[in-house]
Structure 1
Amino acid sequence: MSINFIHKKIFLSIIILVKINSISYAGSMHLETITGAGLSQGTIGEYVYYNNQTLSRLNWNINNLWYYHYSIILQYEYLFAGIQVHGVINDIIGTIDDSDWDQNNPTIKTHYSKHDNYLERYAVYNGTIGFESGINDIIILKPYIGFLYKSIKMSARDGYLEYPPGSPKVPVYGVGIIYEQRYYIPYVACECKFNILDSWAITAGLAISLFAQASDIDNHVKRDLDFYDDFGGLLYLKSDIGIQYSFHENINLGVRCIYEFVPEQKGDMYYIDTSTGIKSSTFSDAAGISMSLFSFECLITFKVDL
């Protein structure tokens, strides 16, 4: 069965569901604004490979990334469209562990260092469009498609170096590495809402992309080298579960837990010598990327009928 045939069946199913459920809505429009804050924890992974062996692994550990959340959703009858924005609140977010191995003998670790992880920039922009389908008075489904742009830029500062690992720690100071990951993610998703009591509801959602793109930049400040990596066809998964309490017809308060996951995947790499401007050739499957983030959000929603 071809990919195009599958896509046609999915599209046709969506159109049929829209037609079936359109009779349940009596021509109304409303606007929702959602504000709040969240905390993320997890690990951003950076890898270098040589002959299919891991030559370098950097774990950018995120212990306390605080961010604000703002989104706006416009719904007409059963159709809705929205945009979501995240921005950063704090700067020191965790630590970074840097490990290197001998390219001739990958069982020998040659280098280990640990540094403070400073957040330089964090931005999330997420656009969605979909429809709402009321299965019954209790269950509401919201299938939708979206595009997510996610960027996180961090720097490794201060810390210590062990060369070789296990030797006396040598203090290092200042910025050693500046690293940024950027994700471009088209995805499909579905959210489900269960009205369990008059004022209480449980929400759950799942999003998936098989065609995510990513790029990263690794600036080795003290070595005059910038590494550029590109990744295509990435797997991206996101799940969430939450609870909402409506203390007014148009106002509700909610909390939710979110998990985002990009498994370790390979891409192409080249580097530029910043002292001369000379660009290297491109090395296939020489770079790696991963992401595993758990977030907790507190949100308040205001609904305005138009």
Structure 2
Amino acid sequence: MRSYPALYTTAMTVQPRLVALSLSLLMAVLPLRAEEPKRSPGGPGYELSMATGLGLLYGAALELVYKDSLSDSLLSELYWPMQPLAYWSTALFLERISHGPRFFARLGLDSGFYSYTGTMTDKDWTTSSSDYTHFSAHDCYTERSLFIDLTLGMKNSLNANLNFSYMASLSAMSFLWTARDGYLVYPGLETEVWGTGISYEQFWFTISFGLGLDWSISERLKLNGTILFTPLVYAVDQDNHYFRLEQFNERLYGAFGVDPSLSLQLSLTDRLGVLLDLSYKGLWGARGDTVHSEMGSGALTIIGVYENGAGAAYNAVDISLSLVSKL
């Protein structure tokens, strides 16, 4: 797998699984019973809920290399699939119960299960032709996939059954993929390969802003739709090519994203319900500089720095089913 030079060490040595465990423990030790919501004009209450469930994600990440800093022509494209990726999901919801504008917050944590998730491909274009000159395909394993998001917003009633909301969201995603076995087709060479040839880590940090609409279809059934736009994106990645003993490290900026979602919640009792959620997330246009290093005897030797030659993208749709309980 690619290793970062010193300037990337802090970002890339964060232990996502420890973060996931810590957040899970924090959720577990929260008070089991919150104050019951009150709608009295003099003292609004708060409602705290927790959702836990399973989901399925279908999508991919792209690792891109451009021919030069001013061009959109690709030199290389590595496709890292998650088709599909199963994950578990936990979320906390807090909402102010009152007759006027209502504050709400959501803290979510999703973590994918380690698994084979499709065929990874690596294409190179070393000539001016639109046909790629080098190609390889490998089994892709998603070894780490972690999603954390915090959403804060305000909700206003349009009528007895319809609520409008606006919100801001801070999120982070962390991935680790490995490409194993497979084959390569190069000019004058076609051969099978064995073992782990490439590993790739990708971290995304985003700030989004959006709008939402809640519709109480009936006393126990609620439909919610939101759309988030992401103008602020920062990403770091690392790629190791083990057979060539090379590593490539990037910091990426300038991306834009969109994140629409639709959910349906059915209340089974006054305190229990089920939540079906469908969402999409896309991030495009991230570009930045590359640090090219050589691996050897545990040490890194920087052999080149390329300005604005790296890129990344992410696209995925996912669906989840959760049990919701009022605490």
Same fold (TM over 0.5): yes
- Provide closer, same or farther for how the CA distance between residues 66 and 196 of structure 1 changes in structure 2, counting only shifts above 3 A: same
What amino acid is the match of 1:213?
Answer: Y
What is the CA–CA distance in structure 2 between the aligned matches of 1:219 and 1:168, rounded to whole Å?
22
Q: Where do residues 19-34 of structure 1 align in structure 2 (5 Å cutoff)? A: 26-34=43-51
Q: Does 1:111 align with 2:128?
A: no
What is the CA–CA distance in structure 1 between the aligned matches of 2:79 and 2:189, rounded to whole Å?
22
What is the CA–CA distance in structure 2 between the aligned matches of 1:233 and 1:25, rounded to whole Å?
47
What is the CA–CA distance in structure 2 between the aligned matches of 1:132 and 1:152, rounded to whole Å?
33
> What is the deviation of 1:175?
0.4
1:91 matched residue in structure 2: 115
1:54 matched residue in structure 2: 74
Q: Return the match for 2:220 from 199, 218, 224.
A: 199
- Provide closer, same or farther for how the CA distance between residues 198 and 221 of structure 1 changes in structure 2, counting only shifts above 3 A: same
Aligned partner of residue 215 in structure 1, secondary structure: strand
Q: CA RMSD in A?
A: 2.1
Instruction: Tell which deviates more after alignment, 274-283 or 154-163.
Output: 274-283
Provide Cα deviations, 1:94-148, integer angstroms capped at 9, x if missing partner.
Answer: 110111111x434352211111110121111111222222221111223221210
Provide Cα deviations, 1:21-80, integer angstroms capped at 9, x if missing partner.
Answer: x99895112211011111111121111111322111111122110010001123334222
What is the CA–CA distance in structure 1 between the aligned matches of 2:82 and 2:113, rounded to whole Å?
14
Tell me how many residue pairs correspond in the alignment: 280
Q: Return the match for 2:84 from 49, 57, 64.
A: 64
What amino acid is the match of 1:71?
Answer: A
Provide Cα deviations, 1:143-202, integer angstroms capped at 9, x if missing partner.
Answer: 2212101011100001111123xx885211110110011001111122221111232222
Q: Does 1:74 align with 2:98?
A: no
Q: Where do residues 147-226 of structure 1 align in structure 2 (5 Å cutoff)? A: 147-164=170-187, 169-226=190-247
What is the CA–CA distance in structure 2 between the aligned matches of 1:139 and 1:26, rounded to whole Å?
23
Q: Where do residues 130-149 of structure 1 align in structure 2 (5 Å cutoff)? A: 130-149=153-172
Q: Does 1:244 align with 2:289?
A: no
What amino acid is the match of 1:139?
Answer: L
1:260 matched residue in structure 2: 281
Structure 2: stretches of 5+ with no match in the other structure: 1-38
TM-score under structure 2 length normalisation: 0.80
- Provide closer, same or farther for how the CA distance between residues 134 and 283 of structure 1 changes in structure 2, counting only shifts above 3 A: same
- Provide closer, same or farther for how the CA distance between residues 23 and 146 of structure 1 changes in structure 2, counting only shifts above 3 A: farther
1:124 matched residue in structure 2: 147
What is the CA–CA distance in structure 1 between the aligned matches of 2:240 and 2:136, rounded to whole Å?
17
What is the CA–CA distance in structure 1 between the aligned matches of 2:230 and 2:305, rounded to whole Å?
26
